[in-house]
Amino acid sequence: MTWVFIRVFFSVAVFGAVLTQASDLSQAEDRYKHTDFEASLTLLDKHSSDAATNFLVARNYFMLGDFKKAAEYLQSATTQQPASSEYMDWLGRAYGKRAESSNPLIAPSLASKARQAFEKAVDLDPRNADALSDLFDFYLEAPGFLGGGYDKALAIAERTSKFDPAQGYFEEAKLAQKRKEFQTAEDHLRQAIGVAPHSVGHLLALGRFLANQGRNKESDAVFLEARTKHPNAPQVLFAWASVLVNQKRDLPHAKTMLENYMQASLTPDDPPKHEARRLLKEADGA
């Protein structure tokens, strides 16, 4: 009878621990989604061998700018779940960020690891839009000796177009800008908007493009259209304000938008608040 009681007690204790861990992970995920990355980390067991926990710990460190720790946890997560395209894509992002901030001796090695991870992520899931986008950006920006190239980028854009025409046009626009084919870039951006008129990202990209071309009235009109169509999208405030601050014009309007952005409910897909604070300081000093 005693042994039966012990077995039952042990089973209940283990089951309770599993439920507690699952609850903590759910709460931590919620904190992450609300960009409270440090609070999310405090809820997690950073010594856990669970792949989902390692993945969330890694994303928190990534968002906090600790790309070395992010890569370490992502390496664990991808080892535990080698078939996960999402995990592999994030590992590529972590390596890429490390390459950007590392000394020239080790940066090429890290960049190569980023490319390999992106390529693996696409191999694991050929329709992973995020992985395809990350691989496109790598091919577009990296020099040939690291595996980059415009032809490779174009191939990814054409591949993306088959299941996401708007994103394909958007990527072709970025490639055209690299080639200084500005009319072609504008045409592709407008095609992307035409195919996906409810996508705020493509409108913002057109607004930034027009501003870079010195067509400020047209740019402001596009940003105003984006704000009218998407009044609850905080990224509109940030994008328009960043253009105004960089051009040192209409700074009171830019500061108001940045202050409103700081008070908005953000997600990890939005620019971090420290970037908004930086722009505010720049606007004050202009």
Task: Give per-residue pLDDT as tens, 181-203.
Answer: 999 999 999 999 999 999 999 99
- For the record, the structure tokens of 235 come out as 């990224």
Tell me the DSSP string of 58-119: HHHHHHTT-HHHHHHHHHHHHHH-TT-HHHHHHHHHHHHHHHHHS-TTTHHHHHHHHHHHHH
- At 23 the pLDDT is 74
pTM recorded for the entire structure: 0.88
Which stretches does DSSP call E strand in the chain?
none
- At 49 the pLDDT is 74
Distances (CA, A) of 89 to 58, 72, 94, 120, 224: 12, 14, 9, 8, 34
- At 6 the pLDDT is 55
Distance CA(172)–CA(177), nearest Å, equals 9
Q: How confident is the model at residue 24 (pLDDT cuts 50, 70, 90)?
A: confident
Q: How confident is the model at residue 17 (pLDDT cuts 50, 70, 90)?
A: very low
Distance CA(153)–CA(97), nearest Å, equals 20
**For the chain, give me the number of helices (H) and strands (E)?**
15, 0
Distance from the Cα of residue 73 to its chain's centroid: 18
Q: How confident is the model at residue 1 (pLDDT cuts 50, 70, 90)?
A: low
Distances (CA, A) of 273 to 63, 93, 114, 233, 258: 11, 20, 26, 15, 9
- At 5 the pLDDT is 53
